[in-house]
Amino acid sequence: MSNFSKAKHLMLLGVASLVFASPASAQLDSAMSAAKASTAASAASQQTVATLDDEADQMVREYRAVLQQKDNIALFVDQQDIYLQSQKSEIESLNRQLATVEQIKQGMVPMMLTMTAEIEDSIKSDVPFNIDERLARVERVKAVLGDPDVSPVEQYRQVLNAYKVEVSYGQGIDSYEGAHPTQPGNIVNFIRFGRVALVYMTKSEDEIAVYNMDNKTWDPVDNGKALEMRQAIRIAKGEAAPDMATVPVFIGQ
């Protein structure tokens, strides 16, 4: 074969190679593009999955939070039910008590009147010390009991206070000035030793007498007791330090 023929043959082979190679290259490019597209789609799908997973986690957290809130609300409602039941029981108790208030008031009034009458009777039958003051207190209590504007509680307090004052007279000693038992124009010194003895001594100290509970009179006492009486009066008035004092005491039959 001549050199020209060989050269022509080689050219034909090259052209044929180029012709046949062109479709393969296109296929490779197409495959590469498809692979790239698949990779991109895969990445996008993965991103979508990740996003959906995050959203699912968020929804789970929100759901759990709603459940916790629901439990808290249920607990609060239960507590309120307990509170309301307690309030209902208390209201029922108060209503029962209010129903008896009128009955109690109706029973208190005669009781307080009886107590006041007993105080007045005891004063009139007692040793006659501070009689005007004590009877005036009883009259004030009577006025309170007859006043509809004064509450039963205050009325009862007044009656009890009168009782307490009368009880207190049985303790300690007291001295005060007052009218002579049989000579109202003269002022004498009285001295009271609880409810044991009531004695008076004139200002001139020439007359001393002790009250006789049996016959409601005054029995004279030896004037020699004047010094002891004077000392007892000073102690009762707080003018002398507390000390033992000797006084005449009436001994009943």
Residue 2 counted as domain residue: no
Q: Name the 3-class secondary structure at 187.
A: strand
pLDDT value at position 251? Answer: 59
The letter for the amino acid at 168 is S
Residue 60 counted as domain residue: no
The residue length of the chain stands at 253
Residue 131 counted as domain residue: no
The C-alpha atoms of residue 188 and residue 143 are separated, in whole angstroms, by: 32
The C-alpha atoms of residue 29 and residue 37 are separated, in whole angstroms, by: 12
CB 108 within 8 A of CB 152: yes
The C-alpha atoms of residue 181 and residue 165 are separated, in whole angstroms, by: 24
The C-alpha atoms of residue 12 and residue 18 are separated, in whole angstroms, by: 10
Query: Which H or E run contains 212?
Result: strand 208-212
Residue 102 counted as domain residue: no
Residues of the chain with pLDDT under 50: 4, 10, 12-22
pLDDT value at position 15? Answer: 45
pLDDT value at position 97? Answer: 74
Residue 79 counted as domain residue: no
Tokens matching residue 19: 């012709």
Tell me the residue range of the domain where 230 lies.
171-253
Q: Give the count of domains, the chain.
A: 1
pLDDT value at position 248? Answer: 66
CB 248 within 8 A of CB 197: yes
Helix and strand numbers (H, E) in the chain are: 4, 5
Average pLDDT, the chain: 80
Q: Concatenated DSSP letters for 35-88?
A: HHHHHHHHHHHHHHHHHHHHHHHHHHHHHHHHHHHHHHHHHHHHHHHHHHHHHH
pLDDT value at position 23? Answer: 58
pLDDT value at position 185? Answer: 86
The C-alpha atoms of residue 222 and residue 81 are separated, in whole angstroms, by: 84
Residue 92 counted as domain residue: no
pLDDT value at position 25? Answer: 66
pLDDT value at position 113? Answer: 92
Per-residue pLDDT reduced to its tens digit, 54-106: 777 788 788 888 888 878 888 878 888 888 888 888 888 877 776 776 777 77
Residue 118 counted as domain residue: no
Tokens matching residue 163: 């009782």
pLDDT value at position 164? Answer: 94
Residue 195 counted as domain residue: yes
